[in-house]
């Protein structure tokens, strides 16, 4: 094994061990100051169930992280949790703690409703008595289960309850009585059917014998209809038609009034508060669940970096899709001076001997970065494609995310060279301007190491939405 390959394996091993150590440290970190800075207050609350809840899960107030779950323990057959909140959050006696689901990834968090100023303040170490264990998704599941149970009882039960169940029982009783009546009067019904058959036969005979008279009668009706049409066309009296229409509308109004008063089967169904409330809760749960898919925040970033060793620029345009405050996807196009590396072996035969020459060529074609990232406290780990090669990255945040120190390793099997390693820092100025600097291809053995500096811009989808009214006003 050559010394160069030994160095390559050593660097890869050191980077992998360092990454795993950082992940383990961040997963086991229990320092309160890592989550909430300054003074804090601790409150306790009892829940019927805390399934899926673990320590260090954030506690949000009005959508902003203002605390976290400290401890979870079993006390008197109830789950008791302690939450550590920022000292700026004032908690009143009518405050409530709610367990919620975040996004489609299944993460749970706790929502604190601080209460109103009309009630006394809960002191440090006090209890929050109002709690809710079931998340929106669990409520939807329970409502659907209750609906399925009601339907199963309607289908299987001999005496289903409720307005709809009573209607089904009445229909079953009516059909049973009809069956009994038909069985008890089978001979009478057969005799009636024979009479009907005889009557239709006689009517058929009469129609054949009096065909001319029937035609004359139809012609008379046709003449009467023509006279009525002429009367209406010439502005004749149509009071009779209006009277008939008025009678029809009065009948419709009577039916509507009965429904409004809850009379009849349909009226009772429309006025059954329990059925209406269950349906409304189910629809609300479905709307809230579907709304989770629309809570994706987009962030757009451009960086232009000047490589000092080669006096060339590389451009990077990326899109961040935040599916949760601590999870995001990164899709980025990179136009770098050094892109894909191609190895070309040429075999030359001369005098019965073969000689192989190898040439390494690089191009500056457009490459793609696609990564998944998970943030834990003040650091985030990224894995996926970096410039069209598999790799990983680590970001460390300082000064409320205004400065980020980043490291990336990719293209581990680069021919005749070490893996590509980038170490750089990014400072955010005035919310939208970026200043970056670092070293590109830090471990290269072929003289590709290059310090760089750069500038960039960063915007979110909310920034673009805020610009729309101004753009409309300028048109």
* Tens-place pLDDT, residues 131-153: 987 766 666 666 777 777 777 76
Strands 58-61 and 40-47: unpaired
* Strand pairing category for 64-75 and 420-429: unpaired
437 pLDDT above the threshold of 70? yes
Give the phi and the psi of residue 326 in degrees, each rounded to 5: -115, 15
pLDDT score for 412: 84
% the chain with pLDDT above 70 = 67
pLDDT of residue 33: 39
Among 50-59, 195-204, 326-335, 425-434, the minimum mean pLDDT is found in 195-204
Report the residue count for the chain.
475
State mean pLDDT over 376-381: 92
Counting Cβ atoms within 10 Å, is residue 437 exposed (0-12), middle (13-18) or buried (19+)?
middle
pTM, to two decimals: 0.39
Distance of alpha carbon 373 from alpha carbon 394, whole angstroms: 9
| Mean pLDDT for the chain overall | 77
pLDDT at res. 21: 77
Tokens of residue 23, six digits: 């992940």
| The two three-digit tokens of residue 433, written as one number | 């301007």
pLDDT of residue 237: 53
Percent of the chain residues topping a pLDDT of 90: 24
Phi, psi (5° rounding) for residue 151?
Answer: -65, -40
Helices (H), 292-385: none
Q: What is the pLDDT of residue 459?
A: 85
pLDDT for 460? 86
Q: How far apart are CA 17 and CA 120, in angstroms?
A: 53
For 387-417, write each residue's pLDDT tens digit.
Answer: 888 899 999 999 988 999 999 999 888 877 8
pLDDT of residue 338 exceeding 70: no
Annotate 246-288 with DSSP letters as a single string.
HHHHHHHHHHHHHHHTT-HHHHHHHT-HHHHHHHHHHHHHHHH
Instruction: Choose the weakest-confidence range: 106-120, 121-135, 405-419, 461-475.
Output: 461-475
Selection from 266, 388, 382, 295 nearest residue 338 by Cα? 388
Q: Hey, which residues does 428 pair with through a beta bridge? A: 434
CA distance 436 to 452: 8
Is 50 exceeded by the pLDDT of residue 265? yes
Residue 359's contacts (CB-CB under 8 Å, 6 or more residues apart) are 343, 344, 346
**Tokens at residue 89, please?**
């959050």
């Amino acid at each position: 094994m050559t010394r160069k390959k030994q160095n390559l394996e050593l660097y890869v091993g050191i980077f992998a061990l360092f990454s795993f150590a950082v992940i383990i440290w961040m997963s086991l970190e229990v320092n309160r100051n890592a989550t909430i800075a300054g003074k804090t207050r601790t409150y306790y609350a009892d829940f019927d169930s805390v399934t899926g809840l673990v320590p260090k899960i954030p506690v949000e107030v009005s959508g902003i992280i203002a605390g976290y779950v400290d401890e979870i323990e079993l006390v008197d057959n109830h789950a008791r949790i302690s939450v550590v909140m920022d000292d700026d959050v004032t908690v009143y006696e009518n405050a409530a703690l709610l367990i919620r689901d975040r996004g489609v990834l299944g993460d749970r968090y706790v929502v604190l409703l601080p209460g109103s100023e009309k009630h006394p303040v809960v002191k440090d170490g006090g209890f929050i008595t109002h709690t809710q264990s079931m998340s929106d998704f669990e409520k939807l599941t329970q409502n659907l289960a209750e609906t399925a149970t009601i339907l199963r009882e309607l289908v299987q039960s001999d005496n289903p309850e409720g307005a709809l169940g009573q209607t089904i029982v009445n229909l079953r009783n009516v059909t049973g009585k009809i069956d009994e009546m038909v069985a008890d009067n089978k001979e009478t019904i057969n005799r009636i059917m024979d009479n009907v058959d005889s009557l239709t036969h006689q009517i058929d005979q009469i129609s054949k014998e009096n065909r001319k008279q029937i035609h004359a009668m139809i012609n008379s009706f046709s003449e009467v209809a023509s006279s009525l049409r002429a009367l209406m066309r010439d502005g004749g009296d149509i009071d009779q038609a209006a009277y008939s229409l008025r009678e029809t509308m009065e009948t419709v109004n009577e039916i509507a009034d009965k429904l409004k008063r809850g009379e009849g089967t349909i009226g009772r169904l429309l006025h059954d508060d329990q059925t209406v409330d269950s349906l409304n809760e189910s629809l609300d749960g479905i709307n809230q669940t579907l709304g989770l898919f629309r809570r994706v925040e987009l962030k757009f970033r451009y960086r232009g970096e000047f490589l000092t060793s080669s006096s060339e620029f590389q451009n990077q345009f990326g899109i961040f899709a935040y599916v949760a405050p601590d999870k995001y996807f990164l899709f980025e196009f990179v136009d770098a001076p050094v892109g894909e590396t191609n190895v070309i072996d040429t075999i030359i035969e001369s005098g019965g001997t073969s000689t192989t020459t190898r040439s390494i060529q690089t191009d500056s074609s457009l490459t793609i970065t696609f990564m998944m990232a998970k943030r834990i406290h003040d650091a985030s780990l990224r894995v996926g494609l970096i410039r069209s090669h598999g790799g990983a990255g680590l970001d460390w945040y300082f000064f409320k995310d205004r400065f980020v120190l980043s490291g990336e390793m990719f293209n581990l099997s680069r021919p005749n060279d070490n893996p590509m390693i980038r170490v750089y820092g990014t400072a955010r100025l005035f919310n939208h301007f970026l200043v970056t600097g670092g070293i590109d291809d830090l471990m290269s053995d072929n003289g590709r190491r290059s310090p760089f500096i750069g500038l960039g811009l960063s915007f979110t989808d909310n920034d673009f939405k805020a610009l729309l009214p101004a753009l409309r006003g300028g048109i």
